Structure formats: C-alpha cells, structure tokens
C-alpha cells in the first residue's frame, strides 16, 4: 500500500469518527420514545437514561402510557408525556441535611403524602410562544441577601420557574454570599452554605389533589384569583412576580422569537393594568371580550397554538376530544 493510499484511509477513518462524534453530540439529551400502552415506569427510566435527569411521579402503580417522539428536546418529551397521562410536569429543587431525607420525601410524594416539608412555588401561567420551548434549567437566579434557608428558597420561587422543597424544621442561617448563576448552581451553593445536600428532580404529577405548597403571598390581592389570571382558581399570587418570571423567559428566547413574544406580553400587561380596579365580575367579562377580539384579529396565532396542543396529544386523546365536540354540538 502506498503512502498516499495509507493517508487516504487514515483521513477517511478520522472523518468517519468525527461524523459519528458530531451526531452523538448533536443528539445528546434528545429523547426518542416509541411506546404503546407501555408501563410508565419503563418510559420514565428511558427518558432518564437518554437525558441524564431524575424523574419522580405520583402516578399509580401499573399506569401505562402511549407516546411516540423522535429525537425531541426534553421539555417537548415531558409535555407530550404529561398530556398522555393527564398530568403536569415541573422541576423541583430539594434541599435537606442529607440525601436519605430527600429520598424519603420523594417516596412520600409518590405515595401522595404531604407532611413534614415546605414546597415553595408560584404557578406560572402558560404563554403562547413559550409553552413547551422553555427549559426551566436555563433560568438564571440573581439571589439577594436573606437571613435563612427558607427565605432564600421562597425568593427562588419568585425568581425562577419551579418548586423548592425543604424540611419544615431545617432552616439554618445563611451567612455566605451567593452569586448569580443558573438556578441549579445557586441551589448547590446555597446547600453548601447550609451544610446540606441539594438535588434536582423533574416531577410528573398525576393525582388530582391540592399541591402542598407555600405559595408566595400576594401584594395587596386578597381572595379569588389574581388579577388577569382567572385560571389560578383562588391561589393568591402577586402579579408582579408572575410578570417577572414571564419576562425572564422571554429574555432567554432566540432573537427571532423574542420581539413578537415581547410585544404580545407588553400588550397583555397594558390591558390588565386597565382592568385591575374593576369588580371581579366586570373584570371577567372584559377578559373574555379581550381574548375573543384577539382571536378575531389574529386567527393564525390561535391556529398555531391549537396545532401545538394537538401535536402533543395521543391519537386516543384527539379522538375523544372530537367526540366531546360532537356531543356538545348535538346537545345545543
């Protein structure tokens, strides 16, 4: 074999290795699931293996799932999975004196038990253009000085999307300064300052029971849902906190999507500011009219939103949806 042929073979081998490495890197963290009535536990373990995350669920033993996704981001896979199981998903950061306590609390969560721990969270409303595309692991938290662990975790619930869990009786003083960073790194530094252990877990919550949370109190809003968010069903939340969370999500969007999302968000804030002082019944009417008019002005946006929702549903769920539509029309 001539030197030229030998060099050509070496070059081909190197190119093949680089191509394989590139494909492996480019698909790292992407999820492929081809499941028909498969055990939920098996699907969860497959997602964990493909992405390197941990998932906990309160789904009953024996739950099955049908879903089909090919090389999709984690958040997309979780959204499809949640739809297929009539569930919701979020990320939680657990801080405790040791890993044994964290494992025990996750076991209680799986069994539907709710005592012994605080769960700080703010329910963030969905927003067209953000739902399904936002990865809460990318959220940045710029912590402000607090006196103790619980106060920091409550601040975290205000600053980023997700839940923060901690034992009721574990609330050490925090003296070390904390730097701005992605949320999981801030939680890690916070746990280190508390001489504790921290763990990030994705939650798939399926049981229809109230979430045991320490919701951050509203500022001047008492009784009923917060202004502009009737779907919170009585959870008192400061609208400014919700606005800050949504703004942070917009800031992290790709540039080509950010301008339209910002314009829609600014328009929505301006509208809700005009109705904030109205009585609740009048507010609800104004909100209904506002969204009806928005759909008339931008029918394509609603079509895109419905397409996004439809793509997340199983075939069985789509069939059942149209069955309900037919039944409702026949009843008119």
pLDDT, tens digit, 9 for 90 and up, residues 213-265: 455 443 322 333 333 333 333 334 567 767 777 777 777 677 777 888 788 88
Of the listed ranges 19-33, 61-75, 109-123, the one predicted with least confidence = 19-33
pLDDT at residue number 280: 76
Those residues with Cβ within 8 angstroms of residue 296's Cβ, 6 or more apart along the chain or in another chain: none
The CA distance from 265 to 184, in Å, is: 27
Structure token digits, residue 40: 């939920």
pLDDT at residue number 163: 94
Those residues with Cβ within 8 angstroms of residue 22's Cβ, 6 or more apart along the chain or in another chain: none
Over residues 94-120, mean pLDDT: 92
Those residues with Cβ within 8 angstroms of residue 211's Cβ, 6 or more apart along the chain or in another chain: 119, 121, 205
Question: How sure is the predictor about 121, in pLDDT bands with cuts at 50, 70 and 90?
Answer: confident
pLDDT tens-digit series, residues 181-198: 999 999 999 999 999 999
Residue 312, pLDDT > 60, answer: no
Residue 7: CB atoms within 10 A of its CB come to 10
**Mean pLDDT score across all residues of the chain:** 76
pLDDT tens-digit series, residues 52-84: 999 999 999 899 999 999 999 999 999 999 989
Instruction: Judge whether 121 and 241 are in contact, CB under 8 Å.
Output: no
pTM over 0.75: no
Of the listed ranges 45-59, 200-214, 313-327, the one predicted with least confidence = 313-327
What are the φ/ψ torsions at residue 258 (nearest 5 degrees)? Answer: -65, -40
Question: How sure is the predictor about 332, in pLDDT bands with cuts at 50, 70 and 90?
Answer: very low
CA distances from 134 to 74, 142, 160, 178 (A): 10, 19, 12, 25
Kindly provide the b/e burial profile for residues 321-330, where b requires at least 16 CB atoms within 10 angstroms of the residue's own CB: eeeeeeeeee
The DSSP code sequence of 192-206 is HHTT-EEEEEEEEE-
Those residues with Cβ within 8 angstroms of residue 126's Cβ, 6 or more apart along the chain or in another chain: none
Output 305 or 197, whichever has higher pLDDT: 197
At 231 the three-state DSSP class reads helix
Residue 210, pLDDT > 80, answer: no
Structure token digits, residue 248: 């942070």
Residue 32, pLDDT > 60, answer: yes
């Amino acid at each position: 074999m001539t030197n030229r042929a030998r060099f050509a073979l070496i070059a081909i081998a190197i190119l093949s290795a680089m191509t394989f490495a590139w494909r492996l890197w480019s698909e790292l963290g992407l999820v492929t699931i081809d499941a028909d009535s498969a055990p939920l536990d098996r699907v969860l373990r497959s997602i964990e293996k493909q992405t390197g995350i941990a998932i906990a669920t309160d789904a009953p033993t024996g739950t099955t799932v049908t879903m089909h996704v090919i090389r999709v981001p984690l958040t997309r896979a979780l959204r499809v999975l949640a739809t297929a199981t009539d569930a919701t998903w979020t990320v939680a950061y657990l801080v405790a004196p040791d890993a044994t306590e964290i494992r025990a609390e996750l076991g209680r969560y799986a069994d539907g038990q709710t005592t012994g721990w605080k769960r700080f969270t703010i329910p963030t409303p969905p927003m067209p253009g953000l739902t399904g595309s936002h990865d809460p692991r990318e959220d940045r938290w710029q912590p402000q000085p607090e006196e103790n662990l619980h106060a920091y975790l409550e601040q975290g619930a205000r600053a980023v999307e997700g839940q923060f869990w901690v034992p009721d009786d574990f609330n050490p003083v925090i003296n070390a300064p904390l730097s701005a960073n992605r949320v999981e790194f801030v939680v890690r530094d916070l746990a280190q300052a508390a001489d504790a252990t921290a763990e990030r877990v994705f939650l798939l919550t399926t049981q229809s029971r109230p979430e045991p949370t320490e919701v951050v109190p509203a500022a001047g809003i008492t009784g009923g849902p917060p202004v502009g968010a009737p779907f919170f069903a009585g959870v008192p939340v400061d609208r400014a906190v919700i606005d800050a969370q949504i703004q942070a999500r917009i800031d992290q969007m790709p540039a080509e999507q950010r301008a339209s999302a910002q314009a829609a968000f600014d328009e929505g804030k301006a509208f809700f500011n005009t109705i904030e002082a109205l009585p609740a019944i009048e507010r609800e009417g104004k909100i209904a009219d506002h969204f009806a008019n928005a759909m008339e002005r931008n029918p394509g946006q609603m079509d895109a939103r419905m397409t996004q929702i439809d793509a997340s549903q199983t075939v069985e769920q789509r069939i059942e949806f149209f069955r309900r539509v037919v039944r409702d029309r026949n009843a008119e």
